[in-house]
Amino acid sequence: MRQCTCPEIAAFLTELRREDLAVSTIASYERDLVAFATWFEGTTSEAFAPQAVTPSDVRDHKSYLRTVRRRQAATVNRRLAALRKFFLWARVTGRITDLPTLEVKSVPTGSRTPKSLAKREADRLIRTVEQSGNTRDLAVLLTLRHTGVRVGELCALRLADLTILDRKGSMLVRSGKGDKDRTVPLNNDVRVALRAYFARRPAATDDHVFIGQRGEALQPEAVQLIVRKYARRAGLAEVTPHILRHTFAKQVLDAGADLTTVSRLLGHERLDTTAIYTQPTARDLVEAVQRLERHDAE
């Protein structure tokens, strides 16, 4: 990525750090803004500055991404979202008076089911972690797979939030999205994995459930790396904690649970958010067509 030399972008990123946004989120904003600034300077031969950008520039950049770079709608919309946030900050801080992004609409997107793993892929991922012998990592992966918690919620879990009995267990997810607590059941696989992890968990003053080598709470970035590491070993591409959340939701719905139940488990405020998991995936469409194939026995 090109080094950021624009003082306004640097100041904006400093504000994002002050807001305590995730490192990965800030890095994404930086990439998108630097890419726009590079395009702007190459197109207009002017130095990039918030006050120099017009609505036509933003529209032209949107068109450039779609027609020249052939970027998908989600990528273009993410870039536009970064520009909207940046220029809103520029107006609030007195750098500009009008928003060049105001009349530029996002690219329409069709209804798309979030990416998830097939059961056999999820099973292969878990087997790979089991083979490593790392009880903490296995507990992390199984908790993500069988509860659907967000990675931030997983990292925020405290020991007192867990109830683990012989035949049942539960996990209190505090202040999830929308600042609402919810209780999620723990199935036997998760309970067994957590017990094995607690038997080896290093002594620490930190009462977070999942801790790192220094006895401090595991951070979301570390969980991302853990999931990615085992996914690579299992021969799976682009697996993230959020994909495991999607996998949980899809498999629970496929098993016959209703939308209200899955919505409660995921901590969604609206049922239509959960309803996206009812949309068929590309894999579902392929399997549906394959079922129509004629067999030799017929």
Of the candidates 66, 115, 124, 177, the residue annotated as catalytic is 177
Which residues, in sequence order, are CB contacts of 194 under 8 Å at separation 6+?
A: 139, 143, 162, 164, 169, 186, 209
Decide if 270 is catalytic: no
> Is residue 200 annotated as a catalytic residue, yes or no?
no
Q: Which of 146, 150, 246, 250 does the annotation list as catalytic? A: 150
Structure tokens at 46: 């002017």
Residue with tokens 């958010």: 273
Q: Cβ–Cβ contacts within 10 Å for residue 64, how many?
A: 14
Task: Based on the residue annotation, tell me whether 232 is a catalytic residue of this protein.
Answer: no
* 277 annotated active-site: yes
The 8-class DSSP code of residue 217 comes to: B
> Of the residues 61, 79, 245, 250, which is catalytic?
245
Known catalytic residue at 245: yes
How close are the terminal C-alpha atoms of the chain, in Å? 58
Catalytic residue among 78, 201, 242, 264: 242
Token pair in block for residue 203: 């002594």
Per the annotation, the verdict on 150 as an active-site residue is yes
**Sequence-ordered list of residues with C-beta below 8 angstroms from that of 269, at least 6 positions apart, any chain:** 177, 178, 180
How far is 59 from 282, CA to CA, in rounded Å? 32
How much helix, strand and coil, in percent to the nearest 5, is found in the chain? Answer: 60, 5, 35
Active-site residues, by number, are: 150, 177, 242, 245, 268, 277
